[in-house]
Amino acid sequence: MVNQVLKQLDTPIPKYSSSRQGNPIILLGEYRFKKRSRHTNQKQEVHWVCNKIDKGCKAKLTTWNDAIIRIYNVHKHDGVYYTTTKKGNRSLVVNGYSYALKQETSVATHWRCSRYYNRCRAIAHTLDGRILKCMGFHNHPPPERSPPPILV
């Protein structure tokens, strides 16, 4: 069921495997997640972190009965940058996907996928140029674009 939904959303299907040391890992597209050893809660949820957590990556996901139920799939080792649209508006680019400014509050800046009107409901929140969270899956592949100008 979950795999069918992920296929419809053009999201990589998670593959369960083990590392060379025999530890459980999840392969999600080009990313590897390792099981967070100190954390399994009473709800039988299993928490996973990007294997590049030691380099500052904060991507993580939560599984329950081997199905992904929550995901924060913004990898610090990927490109996150700001650019301007043809009309001169600010745009946020995360992992190749562009986001249009929705609202600025005193707490955070809210962005939504630039293909929002094509029924893509992915959103992002930033604070002082840093990603706070990205939620939802994109229902389309990232657009082809020229190389990023400057990484944030």
Q: How confident is the model at residue 149 (pLDDT cuts 50, 70, 90)?
A: very low
Torsions phi, psi for 119 (to 5 deg): 75, 20
Render pLDDT for 94-136 as a digit per residue (tens, 0 to 9).
878 889 999 999 889 999 999 988 899 999 998 877 788 888 8
List the Cα angle 63/24/39 in 5-degree steps.
55
Residue 68, pLDDT score: 82
Give residue 34's Cα distance to chain centre.
16
Complete domains list, the chain, with CATH:
2-72 (no CATH), 80-135 (2.20.25.240)
Render pLDDT for 7-27 as a digit per residue (tens, 0 to 9).
444 456 788 999 889 999 998
Residue 3 has pLDDT above 80, yes or no: no
